[in-house]
Amino acid sequence: MRFPYPTGPSAVPVFLAPMAGVSESPFRRLCRAWGADVVVTEFLSAEGIRRENEATLNKLRFTPDEHPIGVQIFGAEPDAMREAAAAVTDVFQPDYIDINFGCPVKKVVKRNGGSGCLRDLDLVQSVIRAVISGTHLPVTCKIRSGWSEEMRDPVKIALKCQEAGVRAIALHPRTRTQMYTGHARWEEIAMVKEAVEIPVIGNGDIKTAEDALRMHRETGCDAVMIARGSFGQPWIFKQARALLDGLPMPATPAVEERFAIALDHARMVQAYEADPIGAAIEFRKHLGWYVKGLPNSADLRKKLHAVNDFAEVEGIFAEYLASPWMREAEAA
């Protein structure tokens, strides 16, 4: 079955996963420019949306070049989820609404949100039906394989979600209690794909473009969703799309181009955020990811993690490009 929202020309679309503090508008735009077929917002509180919390609404902003885009919401109160879906639909007009049943973070699950809902599949269905009643847009969901090993049953969860009316499912095949430890059980993606009639998006442990191709081949998933594998390497989407389309994989950018991409990303953040110092400090994590694996990267990260102004970044990069470490990086 085809996706109920646009996904671009790729036969196997590649998604940027929703990630708190990472999947912000500048990064989404960058990943779209580097080949992501679909992007999703950070997960956003339904209560924050319906109460018009300023910080929450700011995270809902997106630009025309981000389409196709989904807005992901979370919560365990059906009425709040319905109202949030209606508000997002009317005011922001994304391509679809996604429900977060996967977040394992304690502050979310303690209120039964995210993967906390997986302890009660009747609640899961109530939330889905409430969201569907609040929007004319397609509704999808992102799930884990269960709350715990004892409650691990991704097929049952997926079937319940399909029965309630979602139009696609993304599965991260770990339980909530696993958090991000161990290995994602890709065989469970294959099991869900076999069991349901709606599109299935595979997620988990995709660190390289080759991983994306391998997941599709091993599971038959309809799309691949990349999360932490995109950190510091947005070009992974272009590479994954090429492999999935049976084309040669584009080369990984050399150090100088990698730094240029990081600076483009920094400029996008600078233009987007109102607080330049706060934005620069928050951007430090991205800088650390961009230089991961380079010769003398520990010292480079130390300098980058101390910046308070985006102007400092260009100087630090220029210093590295002129250093002996650059010759070692080029030879690697």
Residue 110 has pLDDT above 80, yes or no: no
Q: Average pLDDT for residues 196-205, to the nearest whole number?
A: 97
Does 302 belong to an annotated binding site?
Answer: no
Does 84 belong to an annotated binding site?
Answer: no
Q: Residue 216 in contact with residue 244, Cβ under 8 Å?
A: yes
Compute the half-sphere exposure of residue 247: CA atoms within 13 Å on the CB side of its CA: 12
Instruction: Tell me the pairing of strands 38-40 and 69-74.
Output: parallel
- Cα→Cα distances 210→148, 237, 248, Å: 30, 11, 11
Does 19 belong to an annotated binding site?
Answer: yes
What residue type is 68 in one-letter code?
Answer: P
pLDDT at 273: 87
In angstroms, what is the C-alpha Rg of the chain? 20
Mean of the per-residue pLDDT values of the chain: 91
Residue 287: Cβ-neighbour burial (10 angstroms; 0-12, 13-18, 19+): buried
Q: How many residues does the chain have?
A: 332
Question: Where does the pLDDT of residue 330 fall: very low under 50, low under 70, confident under 90, or very high at 90 and above?
Answer: confident
Q: Residue 121 in contact with residue 127, Cβ under 8 Å?
A: no
Report whether the peptide linkage leading into residue 68 is cis, meaning its omega lies within 30 degrees of zero.
yes
Predicted TM-score (pTM) of the model is 0.94
**Catalytic residue (one of 103, 117, 161, 221):** 103
103 is catalytic: yes
pLDDT at 153: 94
Q: What is the pLDDT of residues 64-89, one digit of tens each?
A: 999 999 999 999 899 999 999 999 99
State the residue for tokens 């076999």.
194
Q: What is the pLDDT of residues 244-300, one digit of tens each?
A: 999 999 999 999 999 999 999 999 999 998 888 889 999 999 999 999 999 999 999
Question: Where does the pLDDT of residue 169 fall: very low under 50, low under 70, confident under 90, or very high at 90 and above?
Answer: very high
Residue 204 has pLDDT above 90, yes or no: yes
Rounded-to-integer distance, Cα 254 and Cα 235, Å: 12
Residue 181 has pLDDT above 90, yes or no: no
The third-level CATH classification (topology) of the domain covering 14-244 is TIM Barrel (3.20.20)
Does 162 belong to an annotated binding site?
Answer: no
